[in-house]
Amino acid sequence: MQKKPFGTTESAIRWHPDAEKAVGKAPFFVRKRIRARVENKARENGKKIVTLAEVKATQQRFLNQQDKEIKGYQIDTCFGHTGCPMRAVSSDTLVAQIETIFQQADLISFLKREVGGNLKFHHEFRVTVADCPNACSQPQIKDIGIIGAVMPQTTDEVCSLCEACVEVCKEAAIKLSDSEASPQIDPDFCVRCGQCVPVCPTGTIVSGQTGYRVLLGGRLGRHPRLAIELPGLYDEATVLKIISACIGLYKQKSRNGVRFAHLLTDQDVDRLADQFNKPSNPSSS
């Protein structure tokens, strides 16, 4: 098979290594947008390979028109929707609803009032959704991070002691013993990835509660902080309510463009946990 000269992307357009390197140096929160722009521009110009010149031209245009590009929020996802086998949930409808909430919240008008004419991408409210606890879209460093999760549950079906679940569990959360009828799953180690469910041939381990973990207030920058996780798993409707509450809190407290992650206090997190950590009704699908 003939070797391709340069790396390829999902969209089949090829990238020269210098172009890849250059786009990798753009701030992480605009990298995806610049990358998509570069590819679109190259396609428009009938190019098959993205070169450094195209990256530089697009990057410059993008940064020059920053104020027109800003919409007040950024919603990011992992690659679960492309068919990732690790996917614990399908977040497609949730992501669409999150987008609607942010559109309705009109954060761009809020930011224009608070910040004036010097809006930058770093002012935008950042949300990301990952479809499993591998968390490829970095929910730990976003204003709001959502992680799909499945709680494994044992049934009365007889375990054959095949050890498939033990082998697949990267957290060493499952213990088998001849004296126990079913495997023991340690909740302190289990990250709720759901990978032990499909490998169980007997139905001894099945999917239990399915929903989303919610992390709040993560950030990088001068004073980085990992997001704080609310306790429990939440269904889509509750995730949307939590997001709305966070937007309300942000509008109430943010002045001069201070990001949600910077204004969220431990007390705010406790209040949100009290408000939303009531028995919810996560789907079992």
Total residues at the site for ligand SF4 (CB under 6 A)? 41
For residue 236, state whether it binds ligand SF4 (rule: CB under 6 A).
no
Whether the CA torsion 27, 30, 36, 42 is positive or negative: it is negative
Minimum distance between the CB of residue 127 and ligand SF4, rounded to whole angstroms?
A: 15
Minimum distance between the CB of residue 165 and ligand SF4, rounded to whole angstroms?
A: 3
| Token pair for 246 | 């966070």
Stretch that binds ligand SF4, among 22-30, 67-75, 84-92, 237-245 (CB under 6 A): 84-92
Minimum distance between the CB of residue 140 and ligand SF4, rounded to whole angstroms?
A: 12
For residue 237, state whether it binds ligand SF4 (rule: CB under 6 A).
no
For residue 207, state whether it binds ligand SF4 (rule: CB under 6 A).
no
Say how many residues make up the chain: 285
* Cα–Cα distance for residue pair 131/147, rounded to 1 Å: 6
For residue 75, state whether it binds ligand SF4 (rule: CB under 6 A).
no
| Nearest-5° Cα angle at 12, 7 to 13 | 70
Closest CA to 161 of 191, 145, 182: 182
* Cα–Cα distance for residue pair 126/139, rounded to 1 Å: 10
**Position among 191, 215, 216, 242 found at the interface with ligand SF4 (CB under 6 A):** 191
E-assigned strands of the chain? Answer: 7-8, 14-15, 49-50, 73-77, 125-130, 144-154, 174-175, 184-185, 205-216, 228-229
For residue 138, state whether it binds ligand SF4 (rule: CB under 6 A).
no
Q: Which residues contact 85 (CB under 8 A, 6 or more apart)?
A: none
**Position among 72, 80, 145, 218 found at the interface with ligand SF4 (CB under 6 A):** 80
Per DSSP, the chain holds a count of helices (H) and strands (E) of 11, 10
For residue 79, state whether it binds ligand SF4 (rule: CB under 6 A).
yes
What would the x/- binding string for ligand SF4 be over residues 153 to 182, using CB under 6 A? ------xxxxxxx--xx-x-xx-x------
Q: Which residues bind ligand SF4 (CB under 6 A)?
A: 78-80, 84, 86-87, 130-132, 134-136, 152, 159-165, 168-169, 171, 173-174, 176, 183, 185, 190-196, 199-202, 204-205
